[in-house]
C-alpha cells in the first residue's frame, strides 16, 4: 500500500510552512533540465541529536562520521552543535553510505563541499529554531542540492518533511530513550519485526501501519502550520 498523505506532506514546496530565506527552500529553479549541469550526488545530512545508527557508531568509536563527540553522551542526547554528516546517494533499493567530510571534499571538491555544508547547517538551524517553538525537535534531516550552470546552489527535492527528517515531540522527549516520532520510524520499527533481506522490493505494509504513519505525518504538519 501507499500513504495517501504523501502528496500533502511530502511536497517539495516546504516553504509553505518553513520561514527560512536561504537557497530558495523547496523551490526547483526554472528550466530544471537545461539549467542544471548536475545534481550534487551526496546527501547533505545534518544532525542535532544522537540517535539511530549514528548512536551505535558513537558507542563503539566515540565518533560520528569521523567527528569526535563528547564522552558519556546518551541516546537521543542533543549535540553541542549541529554536525554535517554527508552520505553518498545510493541506487534505488540500496542504502546510502555515510562518509566523512574529507571524503566528501575529494568527491565534489573543497569549495563545493564547504558551500553545501554551510548551506545545510544554516537551513537546519533556522528550521530547528522554528520547529522548537511549535513543540517539535528536529533530531536530524537530509537535504539535496543541485548546482546551476552559473554556480548557484539550489535546494532541490523534498526538504524538512517527515520522510527526510526525524521529528520528535518536545513533550515526549527524554535523553536515554528512543523518543516517539512524527516520521517513518514507525515503519522502520515494523519492518524490523519481519524476516526479509532488506533488499528491494520491500514487504507490503498493512493498512494499520500505513494509517498510523499517515496520522503521525498529519500531526507533524498540524503542529508546524499551527
Q: Could you please report the per-residue DSSP string of 105-138?
A: HHHH-HHHHHHHHHHHHHHHHHHHHHHHTTTEEE
Whether 210 contacts 5, CB under 8 Å? no
Whether 163 contacts 196, CB under 8 Å? no
Closest C-alpha among 222, 120, 214 to residue 169: 222
Whether 153 contacts 119, CB under 8 Å? yes
| Topology given in CATH for the domain delimited by 23-175 | D-amino Acid Aminotransferase; Chain A, domain 1 (3.30.470)
Q: Which residue has the cell 542535532?
A: 48
What is the pairing mode between strands 63-64 and 165-169? unpaired
Taking the C-alpha atoms of residue 113 and residue 31, their distance in angstroms, rounded to an integer, is 25
Give the helix/strand (H/E) hosting 165.
strand 165-169
User: Per-residue confidence of the chain (226 residues) as pLDDT tens digits?
Assistant: 444 444 444 444 444 555 544 444 444 444 444 455 556 667 899 999 999 899 999 999 999 999 999 999 999 999 999 999 999 876 655 567 889 999 999 998 999 899 899 999 999 999 999 999 999 999 999 998 887 777 778 777 778 888 889 999 999 899 999 998 886 767 777 787 888 777 777 788 888 888 887 888 888 888 887 6
Whether 64 contacts 47, CB under 8 Å? yes
Amino acid at each position: 500500500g501507499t500513504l495517501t498523505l504523501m502528496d500533502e506532506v511530502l511536497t517539495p514546496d516546504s516553504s509553505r510552512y518553513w520561514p527560512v530565506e536561504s537557497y530558495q527552500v523547496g523551490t526547483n529553479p526554472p528550466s530544471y533540465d537545461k539549467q542544471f549541469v548536475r545534481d550534487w550526488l551526496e546527501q547533505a545530512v545534518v544532525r542535532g541529536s544522537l540517535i539511530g545508527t549514528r548512536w551505535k557508531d558513537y558507542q563503539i568509536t566515540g565518533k560520528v562520521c569521523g567527528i569526535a563527540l563528547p564522552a558519556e553522551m546518551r541516546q537521543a542526547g542533543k549535540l553541542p552543535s549541529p554536525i554535517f554528516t554527508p552520505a553518498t546517494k545510493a541506487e534505488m533499493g540500496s542504502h546510502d553510505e555515510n562518509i566523512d567530510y574529507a571524503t566528501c571534499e575529494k568527491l565534489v571538491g573543497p569549495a563545493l563541499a564547504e558551500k553545501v555544508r554551510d548551506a545545510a547547517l544554516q537551513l537546519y538551524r533556522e528550521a530547528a529554531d522554528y520547529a522548537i517553538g511549535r513543540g517539535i525537535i528536529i533530531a536530524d534531516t537530509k537535504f539535496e542540492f543541485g548546482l546551476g550552470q552559473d554556480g548557484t546552489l539550489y535546494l532541490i527535492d523534498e526538504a524538512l518533511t517527515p520522510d527526510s527528517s526525524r521529528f520528535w515531540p518536545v513533550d515526549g522527549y527524554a535523553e536515554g530513550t528512543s523518543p516517539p516520532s512524527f516520521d517513518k520510524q514507525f515503519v522502520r520499527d515494523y519492518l524490523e519485526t519481519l524476516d526479509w533481506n532488506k533488499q528491494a522490493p520491500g514487504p507490503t505494509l498493512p493498512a494499520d501501519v500505513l494509517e498510523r504513519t499517515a496520522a503521525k505525518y498529519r500531526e507533524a504538519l498540524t503542529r508546524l502550520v499551527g
